[in-house]
Amino acid sequence: MKKKYIWAGSVVLLAGVAALYAFKVNAEKNSGVAAKVNGEVITIEEIRKGYTDNPQIAAQVPFNDFYAKAVDVFVNGKLLYQAAQKANVEDTAAYKEQLKVMKEDLSRKVYLEQAVEKNVTDEAVKKFYNEEYLKKFESKKEMGAKHILVDSEKTAKEVIEKLNGGADFDKIAKEYTKDKTVDLGYFTEDLMVPEFTKAALALKKGQYTKTPVKTQFGYHVILLQDIRDSKPLPLKDIEPQIKNLLGQKTIAETFDSLYKDSKIEKYDLNGNLMPKAE
């Protein structure tokens, strides 16, 4: 189980490091020791785990660069922990109270994570894909379009005049559009505002609108590049969404089960028993 809650504190400290130190990582030659703080060892493996447990960091920074900064983070953390031990922080009421809250929160987190891991398997994902997605998939018209968005009808008409004169759509778009996304890719009619969809559906492949299309965003000149019947997406493209959906379903079912098997009494601010929800 990846303990990302442990690394979260290190990430906060990392953000506060003011200076970046550039050096080659040769510490792995030192029996895997990254640092020693008052004789206590910090291993390279500890730092590497913090790196691999956070793919969002690993995707942006090579391990060698990460390591150069992370050594200081881990050293700072070890110094603080040693100081806290000397000060007998763990014997204080404040520590014990916060530890109780953290233990409860951690228990809840791990319990739900284990429930999700148990239910969101490769087999469950494939079953959902085949039985829920593929069998219930309904094909819709998909349009592939580009657009030029401007603030006024006058400017939109000026764009259309230039297109009528043979100007290149992409070049005109760079000059006029206020929307950086010129190529909208493929979309179904329910994903666009009605005025835009209606105008696009009235076009034939390769045509552009001869009059400005007004929507809440401004005035559009639309070029229809293609129109096709939508097809089911391959499993690899929607696997994350399916896993998320199954995870949410597992959590909901977990709470339903807990409520069903428990006796719960809730009271209002006056100490009166609250009626059970229907």
Residues 6+ apart with CB under 8 A from 115: 250, 251, 254
pLDDT digits (tens, 9 = 90+) for 243-262: 999 999 999 999 999 999 99
Amino acid at 262: S
Share of the chain above pLDDT 90, in %: 83
Considering only CA atoms, which of 243, 202, 244 is closest in space to residue 224? 202
SS3 for 188? strand
- The whole-angstrom separation of Cα 230 and Cα 122 is 26
Residues 6+ apart with CB under 8 A from 52: 58
* From-to residues of CATH 3.10.50.40 in the chain: 141-228
- The whole-angstrom separation of Cα 105 and Cα 36 is 32
The fold of the 141-228 domain, in CATH, is Chitinase A; domain 3 (3.10.50)
SS3 for 211? coil
- The whole-angstrom separation of Cα 215 and Cα 221 is 11
Mean pLDDT is lowest, of 13-27, 84-98, 132-146, 214-228, for 13-27
pLDDT of residue 29: 53
